[in-house]
Amino acid sequence: MFERVKSIIVENLGVNEEEVNINSKLAEDLGADSLDAVELIMAIEDEFDISIKDEDANNMRSVQDILDYLNKL
């Protein structure tokens, strides 16, 4: 799961693989602005064939948050 999320992040945020770890914060550590965040969530929806509510998306601030959400599905 982490590897799939990681590769989406690398592709969408244009960061290196080594920069992405479980504790990375999307904005502070990976430089995602609000546009990147929306784009990233849509890419995750595509990859996992799911639909993420805006309220849930707004709470995803780190890689861990994304994994927690996906694990609960």
- Give the separation between CA 20 and CA 50, rounded to whole angstroms: 23
Residue with tokens 């945020």: 13
User: Should residue 29 be labelled a site residue for another protein when binding is judged by CB under 8 A?
Assistant: no
Cα–Cα distance for residue pair 56/37, rounded to 1 Å? 12
Q: Which C-beta is closer to another protein: that of 14 or that of 22? A: 14
Nearer to another protein, 27 or 38 (CB): 38
Is 50 a binding residue for another protein by CB under 8 A? The answer is no
Looking at residue 65, its amino acid is D
Q: Does 28 bind another protein (CB under 8 A)?
A: no
Active site residues: 33
